[in-house]
Structure 1
Amino acid sequence: MADKPNIILIMTDQQRYDSIAALGFPHVSTPNLDRMVAEGVTLTECHITAPSCVPSRASLFTGYYPHTTGVLANGQEWQHTWVERLRDAGYRCVNVGKMHTIPYESDSGFHERYVVENKDRYMEGRWYFDEWDKALAAHGLVKQQREEYRKRPDYRTRLGAFDWELPEALHSDAFVGNMARWWVNTYPPTEPLFLQVGFPGPHPPFDPPARYSEPYLRANDLPLPSPARAELDGLHPALKEKRRHDVEVDHDSVAWSLDPTPDQMHRLWAHYLGNVTLIDEKIGELLSALRERGYLEDAVVIFTSDHGECLGDHGLIQKWSMYDVVTRVPTILWSTAGRFPGGRRVEGQCQLFDLGPTILELAGLTPPADFEARSLLPALEGKEWTPRTHVFCEQAGDVALGGVEFITGVRSDGWKLVHFKGSAEGQLFDLARDPGEVDNLWNDPAHLDKRRELLDVIREWLIDSNLRTRDLHARSR
């Protein structure tokens, strides 16, 4: 084995843990990810640090919690990353697709960036033209996005689910997968390589070419969400406000419904899963190209997502909440040269940003001492490893979260608490008894001690974080 393995980091946007067949969802076709699960190590309890794109990615690529980076909502500036350390250590660092740095085109440590951003940039960065925009323009085509979708008579009933009607190769996820494969096949072989591939999907609009969604439209056994009225009535006021907001404001071409029909839900899930299958296909093609060019002789391939998606669970759409369908992401690491044994699942809790120091150590580098992220390499190598007793999640008010200024979540192995700043109400779930997070015990007298215990955990975590990162704060002055 080489001193420095090639490292391939493949990320999707807004992909649920339960959207991969090998991870317990047999209703979806994901043969390439299934193979990675079979031959790699799956982190079954990997949770994000922020339930929206920009703060989650800023946390992942810096090694610090959102309150430390100061990036707590979409649209906030960030650009420096630990990729700079890989570049300085001799890696050829290449990004194809979405990183979601702000500004979008900052180098962030990469030698080359082929930026493809959100499918539907309506409010944010609308007039920034990425590689995908340029390709569409070169073909004389207008992107399917909010202005165009709004012209459709059934727009408000589609819930963001549409068919991609332009050439298939120009769908955002096909375009990113094809461009990554083109780079691998075209650039003179260079090692060690750090290649980050960011697929924009299955983030909405949920719009794969019809051939991907049609098999799911024909399926009659998809387990569709159907939240009870009691759960909807008992949602926190901020989430009730979010439901209303998402009906009135069509973020990402999704005009939500407070009471979607079974047919609407079926179509929504069919298009979401179709987009997942499209991405899986492109991952397979990319891995084949990497293998043919010799990069997989000694490589660590990592697959994950920046956060999940409610997709109708709890009566909600998209992210910006702290249910497990949003905070828990699929995370698979596969060593092609036996650097760590595969075919395993690591059950303990960890956080998505723990991948940062893991990648640095795989590259033979020492992570900064003040990193709040912790390396997962011992767990991968089957050595003694202590899972996180608690994982944390933070979100400032965002475009679709106007009913609250700040949300903080903490999750132990058996419990979850969500604190809404300025509200006497919160969320408390007994995950062992209620894994679907339906029965909110916040005001249950029998569980007031557990509520206080987890609030104390948040307090101690913040104090420890401020102490741990004090030198970082001093350097930033």
Structure 2
Amino acid sequence: MADRPNIILIITDQQRYDTIAALGFPYAVTPNLDRLVQEGVVFSQCHITAPSCVPSRASLFTGYYPHTTGVLANGQKWQHTWVEQLRDSGYRCVNIGKMHTIPYDSDAGFNERYVVENKDRYLEGRWYFDEWDKALAAHGLVKQQRETYRQRSDYRESLGCFDWELPEELHSDAFVGNMAKWWVETYPTTEPLFLQVGMPGPHPPFDPPARYSEPYLKRNDLPVTKPSAEELETLHPALKEKRVHDVEVDHDSVVWSLDPTPEQMHRLWAHYLGNVTLIDEKIGQLLTSLEERGYLKDAVIIFTSDHGECLGEHGLIQKWSMYDVVTRVPTIVWSSAGRFEGGRTVDGQCQWFDLGPTILELAGITPPPDFEAQSLMPALQDKPWEPRSYVFCEQAGDVALGGVEFITGVRSDRWKLVHFKGSKEGQLFDLEADPKEVHNLWNDPAHAKIRRELLDVMREWLIDSNYRTRNRTAEMR
């Protein structure tokens, strides 16, 4: 076993925890991820620090909370990462796929970047042509996107679900998976290697090739849920406004419905899971190439996602809220060469950005002392480890969240509180009695004490964070 393993970090975009068969979701067809689960270590309560792409990723790749990085919503500039430390220490650092740095083509600490961005870029960077755009253009094609989907007669009823009708190998997730495989098979073997593979899916549009969604469309047991009228009535006003906004504005080619039919919801789940199965297939092919090239003799593979997806739960679509279906992400760490014992699940709470110092320590690098992220190495090595008593989440108002300036969430093992800046209303859930987060206890007098306690925890966390990172904030970007 070498001192410095090859590290492969695979990040999907907008993938819920409950989309992998081996994690207790039997509806999904995910044999390659199932293998990583069965042979690796699963962190079952890993929560992101921001419920949207850019602030979540900036937090992961810097080791600081969003309010410290200053990246609180999509479109904000960030580019410096701890990958620079890996590169400077001798790792060959390669990114293939989505990182979502702003600007897109920042080196972000990598020796090589092959950027593939959102499936449906429409605002910032709309005319930035990434590797996927170039590949399509080389074939005389233009990717399926909002302008073309809008021409369909069923556009408003599709909820963002379409079939990929161009060559299968040019679907964004197939393209990224194939390109990562090509790099591994073509580039002269270089160790130690840090390879970050960013899959654009299952982020919408929900448009896998039909052969992936069709098996799910034939099933009648997908866990499609319908929120009650009572839950919809008790949603926070900012989330009610978001529901209406998502009907009026087609972000990522999704025109939402305030009352989708069971058939629409079944199709939504089928297309989403079909995209997950496509990604799983490409991960399996990449693992085979890594093994054949010798990289897996001593390697650590990390699979995870930047945030989840509501998929109609709570009457919402996409992210930008702090329900567990958005904040809790699959996080699997697999190793060869006996680095740590696999086949285990770690149930204590951790934050997604804790992967940063973990990767640095795997590479033999001491994380900066003011990192707000905490290494998961003790848990991986099955040594005494203190889970986080509380995890936190932050989000500024964004393109699909215009009804509030800022949202802050705090979660313990049992309780979750969400504070909406400038609002007398908030959210409070007893996760033990109400794991689906349906019954909001914010205004319940019987729970006023726990509400006050969690608000105090939030205040003390912010004070401690601002003091601890006082010399770092101005240097982040």
- Superposed displacement of residue 197, structure 1: 0.1
SS at match of 2:252: helix
What percent of counterpart residues are identical?
83
Where 1:404 maps in the other structure, the secondary structure is: strand
Residues 303-452 of structure 1 aligned to structure 2 (within 5 Å): 303-452=303-452
Mapped partners of 2:338, 2:316: distance in 1: 42
After the TM superposition, which residues 136-175 of structure 1 pair with which residues of structure 2 at under 5 Å, given as runs? 136-175=136-175
Match in the other structure for 2:189: 189
- Give the match for residue 296 of structure 2: 296
Q: What do residues 133-171 of structure 1 show as CA deviations (whole Å, max 9, x unaligned)?
A: 000000001110000000000000000000000000000
Q: CA deviation at 1:181?
A: 0.1
Q: CA separation in 1, counterparts of 2:51 and 2:182? A: 32
Superposition map of 1:14-33 within 5 A? 14-33=14-33
Q: Output one character per residue of 1:236-287: Cα deviation in whole Å (capped at 9) or x when no partner.
A: 0000000000000000000000000000000000000000000000000000
Secondary structure, in 3 states, of the residue corresponding to 2:119? coil
Provide the rounded CA distance (Å) in 2 between the counterparts of 1:163 and 1:311. 18
1:135 aligns to 2:135 (yes or no): yes
The equivalences for 1:193-342 within 5 A come to: 193-342=193-342
Relative to structure 1, the CA distance from residue 231 to residue 70 in structure 2 (aligned partners, 3 Å threshold; closer, same or farther) is same
Post-superposition CA distance 1:117-143 (Å, at most 9, x none)? 000001221100000000000000111
Q: In structure 1, give the amino acid aligned to 2:378.
A: P
Say which is worse superposed, 217-226 or 51-60, in terms of deviation.
217-226
| TM-superposition CA deviations, 1:356-410 (whole Å, max 9, x none) | 0000000000000000000000000000100000000000000000000000000
Deviation at 1:475, TM superposition (A): 5.2
Query: Distance in 2 between the 1:406 and 1:361 partners?
Result: 34
5+ residue gaps, structure 2: none
C-alpha distance in 2 between matches for 1:225 and 1:289: 39
Instruction: For 2:476 and 2:73, locate their aligned partners in 1 and report how far apart those are by CA, in whole Å.
Output: 20
Partner SS for 1:163:
coil
Matched residue type, 1:286: L
Q: 1:438 to 1:32 in 2, by over 3 A?
A: same
SS across alignment from 1:260: coil
Q: How many equivalent residue pairs?
A: 477
Aligned residue identity for 2:146: R
Q: Which amino acid aligns with 1:153?
A: S
What is the rounded CA distance, in whole Å, between the counterparts of 1:148 and 1:470 in structure 2? 48
Tell me, in whole angstroms, the C-alpha distance in 2 between the residues paired with 1:142 and 1:373. 41
Instruction: Report SS of the residue matched to 1:67.
Output: helix
Pairwise CA distance, 1:476: 6.4
2:280 aligns to what SS in structure 1? Answer: helix
The structural deviation recorded for 1:321 is: 0.0
RMSD across aligned positions (CA): 0.8
Displacement of 1:471:
1.8
Tell me by how many angstroms 1:314 deviates.
Answer: 0.3
Q: Partner letter of residue 310 of structure 2?
A: C
The Cα of 1:473 is off from its aligned counterpart by 3.3
Q: State the Cα deviation string for residues 46-76 of structure 1 (Å, max 9, x = none).
A: 0000000000000000000000000000000
Q: Could you tell me whether the CA contact under 8 Å between 2:80 and 2:476 is conserved in 1?
A: no
Q: Equivalents in 2 of 1:296, 1:473: separation in Å?
A: 38
Q: Which residue is equivalent to 1:81?
A: 81
Letter in 2 for 1:164: W
Deviations along 1:432-457, whole A, 9 cap, x unmatched? 00000000000000000000000000
CA contact (8 A) 2:69 2:473 kept: no
Question: Where in structure 1 do 4 or more consecutive aligned residues deviate above 6 Å?
Answer: none
Structure 2 partner of 1:70: 70
Distance 2:122 2:391 in 1: 33
The verdict on how the C-alpha distance between 1:445 and 1:279 changes in structure 2, with shifts beyond 3 A counting, is same
Q: Within 2, Cα distance between the matches of 1:357 and 1:440?
A: 35
Q: Distance in 2 between matches of 1:388 and 1:395?
A: 20
Q: For residues 383 and 444 of structure 1, do their structure 2 counterparts lie closer, same or farther at Cα, with a shift above 3 Å needed? A: same
> d(CA) in 1 for partners of 2:6 and 2:289?
14
SS at the partner of 2:18? helix
Structure 1: give runs of 5+ residues left out of the alignment.
none
Q: 1:31 and 1:474 mapped to 2: Cα distance?
A: 45
2:421 is equivalent to residue 458 of structure 1? no
> Residue by residue, what CA displacement relative to the aligned partner does 1:5-36 show, whole Å, maximum 9, x if unpaired?
00000000000000000111100100000000
